[in-house]
Chains A and B, each alone.
Chain A
Amino acid sequence: MNTQSAISNDDMHTLAALANVIIPPSAAYAVPGAGDPDICKGIAAGARRAERLQRALGELNAIADAAHGCLFQTLSDSEKMSVAEQFRDQHASSAGLIEALTMQAYYRDPRVMASLGMDARPPFPEGYKPPEGDWSLLDPVRRRAPLFRKAD
C-alpha cells in the first residue's frame, strides 16, 4: 500500500504543486495547502498502484511542457491553474485519481480537522454523540391511518 518510495523526488515536487492548486493554503482558515510535505506524503502513499500515479503526473507534465516548455511545478500560479484545468479535461480519470487521493489525505490532517472543529482522532473507539432529537415530531404520523395495502 505504501508507495512513497516509488515516487521520485521530481514526481513529489510535481504532485505537491498540483495538490496546492487543488487546495491552496488559507490564512483565513489557518490551514495548510494540500501541497504541505506531510499531506503530500499521504497523497503519494495512498496510491495503491504507484505506476498509475506516476503516469498521471507524467500526463500533467506533458501538458505543461507542450504549453510552456517546462515542468508543471515551475509555472506561475495562473499558468498552473490553466494547465491543471486542461489536465482535468484531457485526462479525467488521472485527474480524478489525484483529486480523490488529495481529499483522502487532506481531510484527515490534524490541522485541517481542528480548523473544521473536529477532534484530530479516528472515530473508534471514542465515537460521537449526536443529539437525540425531538421525537414528539412523530406524533402526527402516529395518528395516521394505515397506509399499507391489504394483500388478501
Chain B
Amino acid sequence: MSDQTVDVLIIGAGASGAAMAWSLAETKMHIVCLEQGPLMNPLTYPSASMDWEQQAAGEMNTNPNVRCLPSDYPINEDESPIKIANFNAVGGGTILYAGHFPRFHPSDFRVNSLDGVAADWPIDYAALAPFYAENERMTGVAGAPGDPAYPQDNATRVPPLPLGQSGEVLAKGFNKLGWHWWPSDTAIVTEEYDGRAPCINLGACGTGCAQGAKGSSDITYWPHALRAGVELRTRCRVREITVGDDGMATGAIYYDGDGKEQRINAHVVIMACNGVGTPRLLLNSKSAQFPDGLANSSGLVGKNLMFHPYAMIQGVFDEELDGYMGPHKAIRSQEFYETDADRGFVRGYTLEIQRGMAPVRTAMTGLRHQRIRWGETHHDDYRRMFKRMTGMVAVCEDLPEAHNQVTLDPVLKDSDGIPAPKITYTLSDNSKRMMDHAVGKATEILKAAGATDVISEAPLMWGGWHLMGTARMGKNPETSVVNEWGRSHDVKNLFIVDGSIFTTSAGVNPTNTIQALALYVADQMKSRLATLFD
C-alpha cells in the first residue's frame, strides 16, 4: 500500500469533479482526482457500428445493473419505481447525457418562501449567474437569447440545433394554443468550438458522441485541467474517507486498477461522486468519531433523494418527420413551470421536445404500447410509426422527502467488496398529479399539432438520471450536510460539489447547475484559502 500526501483530493471525475479540478488548477496546488472508471475513447462509441442501438441496450445501457461494466457498482433499486441511470468513467454521467443544459429559474432557489414547501437554498440565482456563464462558455452551448421564461442572461451561445420538421410541427401546435416554447439550451456545439467539431446530427448522443460535439466533461474541462497540471488517476475506486484524531479528513483508501488497496493523504478532500455515489461513500466512512458515517451529524446523508419523475408523451403523425436524424432535442416549453395553485400541485415542469426515434427504438416503443404487433401486421404497424413519431418528456420537479433515500445495502457489494447503495423511493402525490397534468397538456399540444395517436408513459422507469439532494446545502447544521459554500458542517476540510448538495431539484435538468455550483464552491475556496478551515 503506497502512502502519498497531496494538497487536494477530488473523488469522482464526472461533471462536477471536472469543473472543480479545472477551476482549482490555477492555484498550482497538487491536485489528484481519483476516478473508478476509465478515460473513454470516443472512436469506440457505438454510433460508428451498425449494431449501435444494440450496444445502447447492452454495454452502453444507462442502468449500471444492466451494463455491468468493470467500472460499475451494483445498486439495489428493488424499492424504487424509478431506476438509476449513470455512467462511471471520466466525464461521469455526461458521457451518456442528452446535453439539455438549462439554468434554474430565480424562483427555484426560494421554494419555501414562495410556495411554503421544502426549503430555500442558502444562495440565490444572482450568486450563481456568473458561474452559469463560465460553465456555458467552457462547455459550449447551443441556444438562443431572449427566452421570456428566464431573466436576461449573459450566456455565450452558438446557434441553436436545427428546429427540423418535428420541431416545426410541434411549434405550430404550441403557437395554436398560445403556449410558450423556445430553442433548448443544449450542451452540443453547432459550430467548431474549443477544438471540437460541430454536431452532424447522428442522433446517438445517448451512447456517447463520437464526433465530440456534445459537451461531456471528459472533452470540455478535463483536457484544460490536465494541461494545467491536475493529476487524474483512472480505475481507482475509493472505499472510504479517512479521518484523524482531530476530526479532520486525512485522505482516502482506494483500490487501484489491479485491485490493490492504496492510501492517499490530502489536506482537502472534495466529493464529486454524484447523488448516489457520494452518500454511499460517506455512509461507508464510519469511524469512532463518526459512527453514523462521515459528515452525518444531521442524519441527512443519503436522505431527501430527488429524481425528476419523467412523463413521456409521443404523438404519431401522418406525415414523415425527422425520425432518427439529429440530436433528440430542439425545443422546450416552460408554460407550466412556475407554481399555479389552480393546477392542484405545487411547483412545475419543463416540456422537453424529443425529435424522433431511431429504428430499433421505434419498434420497441410501438411494441411496448401495443401499436406494433407480432405477425403479418408487423410491417404496416411499424411503417405507421417509423419517422412519423415525435413528442416530449416532462421533467417534473421532485420535492425533498426524508424517506426517499440512499442507504448501504446490508448484503450487496461491488467487485472490490464495498457495500452497494440501496435506493428507497416512492413517488409523492404532488409528483403524480404533476405528471398527470403534464400528460394532459402534452396530449393537447400533440393533438393541436396534428397527431393522430398519442401514447404516454409515467413515470419513465429507466429515467433516474438526475440524482440530487442526498447531502444537502444549507446554513443550519441540523438541517443540512454542507454549508452555503459546499463545506461539510462537521468536517472542515471536506467539501461536496456534486448533485447531492441540491436543496431542491427545480423542474429542469441539473447539470448546468451542478457544474455552476462546483465553480462557485471552487471560487469560494480560492477566495478563502487562508481561512479555509476556520
Tell me if A151 and B107 are in contact (CB < 8 A): yes
Tell me if A132 and B148 are in contact (CB < 8 A): no
- Taken together as a complex, chains A and B put the C-alpha atoms of A33 and B421 apart, in Å, by 44
Q: In this assembly, does B47 line the interface, its C-beta being within 8 Å of a C-beta of chain A?
A: yes
**Can you list 24 A-B contacts with CB-CB less than 8 angstroms, sorted by A residue number?**
A21-B375, A24-B376, A29-B383, A31-B379, A107-B53, A108-B50, A108-B51, A116-B359, A116-B383, A124-B47, A130-B325, A132-B162, A133-B162, A133-B163, A138-B171, A138-B183, A141-B180, A141-B181, A144-B180, A145-B148, A147-B149, A147-B338, A149-B114, A150-B107
- B58 contacts across to A, CB distance below 8 A: 1, 46, 48
Tell me if A148 and B168 are in contact (CB < 8 A): no
Tell me if A131 and B165 are in contact (CB < 8 A): yes
Tell me if B359 and A141 are in contact (CB < 8 A): no
| Interface contact tally, CB-CB below 8 A | 186
Tell me if A127 and B49 are in contact (CB < 8 A): no
Within 8 A of B (CB), among A94-126: 99-101, 103-108, 113, 116, 118, 120-126
- Taken together as a complex, chains A and B put the C-alpha atoms of A101 and B107 apart, in Å, by 46
Complex: chain B residue closest to A139, CB-CB: B175
B interface, CB within 8 angstroms of A: 45, 47-54, 57-59, 105-107, 109-110, 113-114, 124-125, 144, 146, 148-151, 162-165, 167-168, 171-172, 174-175, 178, 180-183, 199-204, 210-211, 322, 324-326, 330, 334-335, 337-339, 355, 359-360, 362-364, 367, 374-376, 378-379, 383, 386-387
- Taken together as a complex, chains A and B put the C-alpha atoms of A138 and B459 apart, in Å, by 30
Q: In this assembly, does A67 line the interface, its C-beta being within 8 Å of a C-beta of chain B?
A: no
Beyond known contacts A122-B49, A130-B165, A144-B180: 10 more, CB 8 A cutoff: A28-B379, A48-B59, A99-B367, A129-B201, A133-B164, A137-B168, A137-B175, A141-B181, A149-B339, A151-B107
Q: Which residue of A22, A31, A129, A149 is within 8 Å of B107 (Cβ)?
A: A149
Complex: chain A residue closest to B168, CB-CB: A133
- A145 contacts across to B, CB distance below 8 A: 148
Q: Which residue of B59, B110, B114, B163 is within 8 Å of A135 (Cβ)?
A: B163
Q: Is the interface of B mostly helix, strand, loop or mixed?
A: loop
- B175 contacts across to A, CB distance below 8 A: 137, 140-141
Tell me if A107 and B360 are in contact (CB < 8 A): yes
Taking the closest CB of chain B, its distance from the CB of A92, in whole angstroms, is 12
Q: Which residue of A21, A124, A138 is within 8 Å of B210 (Cβ)?
A: A124
Tell me if A148 and B107 are in contact (CB < 8 A): yes
- Taken together as a complex, chains A and B put the C-alpha atoms of A134 and B183 apart, in Å, by 12
- Taken together as a complex, chains A and B put the C-alpha atoms of A105 and B325 apart, in Å, by 20
- A71 contacts across to B, CB distance below 8 A: none
- A81 contacts across to B, CB distance below 8 A: 374-375
Known A107-B359, A128-B325, A133-B162; judge A151-B110 contact (CB<8 A). Answer: yes
Tell me if A151 and B114 are in contact (CB < 8 A): yes
Tell me if B379 and A148 are in contact (CB < 8 A): no
Tell me if B168 and A125 are in contact (CB < 8 A): no
- B325 contacts across to A, CB distance below 8 A: 128-130
- Taken together as a complex, chains A and B put the C-alpha atoms of A134 and B175 apart, in Å, by 13
Tell me if A22 and B48 are in contact (CB < 8 A): no
Tell me if B53 and A108 are in contact (CB < 8 A): yes
Within 8 A of B (CB), among A1-50: 1, 21-24, 26, 28-29, 31, 42, 46, 48
Tell me if B359 and A108 are in contact (CB < 8 A): yes
Q: Which residue of B57, B165, B324 is within 8 Å of A100 (Cβ)?
A: B57
- Taken together as a complex, chains A and B put the C-alpha atoms of A141 and B181 apart, in Å, by 7
- Taken together as a complex, chains A and B put the C-alpha atoms of A134 and B169 apart, in Å, by 10
Q: Which residue of A46, A128, A148 is within 8 Å of B106 (Cβ)?
A: A148
Complex: chain A residue closest to B48, CB-CB: A124
Taking the closest CB of chain B, its distance from the CB of A27, in whole angstroms, is 10
